[in-house]
Structure 1
């Protein structure tokens, strides 16, 4: 059995917040002991609300923020051993597609120039060959060749995201971190971009870390899913198992909060949402003791308030959940209401 392309073990990321006039210096623990693998040619979906730490994990893998604990091993090499300077080979192997492509491209450069610069930096070739490669790239992401002459402001949101994907592909990466790549797009365009990513994965053997807040979207592209809450993984497993029968109350809350077109499924999710505790997301600066989700959980017991639950095997094969009442909460099917939830 081959080793995973990426191995994240007990990753921790902290940010020191400066002292203010009336505020002492504080430490924000954005990521706390997260572990997962990304297999070669597969997708690991990372799901959670804003502030859960999922983007910080992606940035740590990209070495855009330093980790304060744990390890990140890419293709057998601990990237922490790189020191202060990241090798060009790692920059080439691990690329990123951001949520807003307009903020990550030069508005004064045409699409062709943007792609040509990426190729020239990592794959030296003569000018004619580079122009042919640019045309191949725009074709591979479903754009006509004349788009190479256009500028970012002349493109729609979906077209700009295709350009961002083409730029990531330009250097022939092995892993792409997709940070909310479809959340700013309309539903039909979301489907097109997701299908494009799936097709490219099959064609080039790519691996993805797909970061999003919508569990329904992540299910369509991921092989495995990890659910984050306040910097910790609360559930992970096969995509269909996690989506089809979520084991953790937080995962079920995410499911219930998502709108779907099927009236029957939507009615089930609405009933479950009515049975959930109404509470705001706690501050990451002062997470609750014990299980951080207990302030919003209809199943919370006394030990949930004092003892931190660890990931353990869930009733579904291959799924892990961090919940003291895991077997009681585990749902028989997607969208089923929580039995015993407080109304």
Structure 2
């Protein structure tokens, strides 16, 4: 009998009501029918462009926004059924690391005070025990002992992010939602923070929901990856498979948009980027009919503009929502399909 996942998201949808005029409202579907699981001690990476709904999913898991439909289950408990009050035990078990630590750390408090407050809230202990625990936390994230007496503005960006990670660890969580935790850092610091997260996962058996826009970064920390476009999962599968052999055209576009040190790989990505359809991202308020990616896809045809694709097996344990999977798979990286739909040619010419 297989163990149940720590977190299970089933057909999650999140809608926001927006004012349109004095008496009218419009509905923004930020997340639509998304499902995935996070196993104990594993990492699920969510990747996509800005506005794809990644952070909204993380906030729904944290109960910072309300789910419009679907179910979120954490360790057998239906999170969406908690009501207005969130149990303290859930707040302890599920923590978050935000993109900008300066906006989530109190600038008037020292690092030690910040960590001490988290400990007092969820793990009451004597003052002597608390000081030992703070020293242990500071050391576990690679900071010097004296930095516990520093304020956030006295630390570098990478050090502040380590403090945010230490604060999450202070309550001994089981799941940490990492919302773009390295996107504001330079490349070398990104690598250090990612390696730290991997080491902490091995040491404490943590599970992560890792949210980012860079597929290369997500690959290094994740066991499975889900690719989001306009609130829908368009590809999901083992991290190595999604990264090395992307099935969906949108995943290929994300791969081509990131820079790598290997000149041969970079040359292929540059060529692929030059061949892509340069259409604007559609508005989430009025997504195109059929496949939402059809206005930017070189493989799209008339069927793509009229039929919504569903996730289907694409080989290697990967599922992809694409009606043109065989054609995409047959096209090497850096090349367009042999036959491009006339409607796509018109889009390409209008945007060049």
Same fold, TM-score > 0.5, yes or no: yes
Q: Deviations over 1:289-316 (max 9, x none)?
A: 10000000000010100100000000x3
Paired positions, count:
340
2:15 paired residue number: 14
2:252 paired residue number: 252
2:159 paired residue number: 159
Q: Gaps (5+ residues) in structure 2?
A: 341-347
1:172 paired residue number: 172
CA contact (8 A) 1:97 1:178 kept: yes
CA contact (8 A) 1:245 1:332 kept: no
- Residue 325 in structure 1 maps to residue 328 in structure 2: no
Deviating 4+ runs (over 6 angstroms): none
2:343 paired residue number: none
Q: Gaps (5+ residues) in structure 1?
A: none
2:124 paired residue number: 124
Look up the SS of the partner of 1:305 in the other structure: coil
C-alpha change, 1:152 and 1:34, in structure 2 (3 Å) is same
Map 1:60-71 to 2 at 5 A. 60-71=60-71
Name the Cα RMSD after superposition: 1.3
CA shift, 1:18, in A, is: 1.8
1:305 paired residue number: 305
State the distance in 1 between where 2:92 and 2:336 align. Answer: 46
State the distance in 2 between where 1:45 and 1:338 align. Answer: 28
Map 1:88-107 to 2 at 5 A. 88-107=88-107
2:345 paired residue number: none
Look up the SS of the partner of 2:303 in the other structure: helix
State the distance in 1 between where 2:119 and 2:185 align. Answer: 27
State the distance in 1 between where 2:141 and 2:266 align. Answer: 33
State the distance in 2 between where 1:186 and 1:81 align. Answer: 40
Which of the residues 337, 340, 343 maps onto 2:338? 340
C-alpha change, 1:331 and 1:175, in structure 2 (3 Å) is farther
1:27 paired residue number: 27
State the distance in 2 between where 1:134 and 1:32 align. Answer: 41
CA shift, 1:339, in A, is: 3.9
State the distance in 1 between where 2:338 and 2:135 align. Answer: 58
Map 1:1-343 to 2 at 5 A. 1-21=2-22, 24-314=24-314, 316-330=315-329, 335-340=333-338
Q: Deviations over 1:70-100 (max 9, x none)?
A: 0000001111121110000000000000000
CA contact (8 A) 1:268 1:337 kept: no
Look up the SS of the partner of 2:17 in the other structure: strand
CA shift, 1:331, in A, is: 6.3
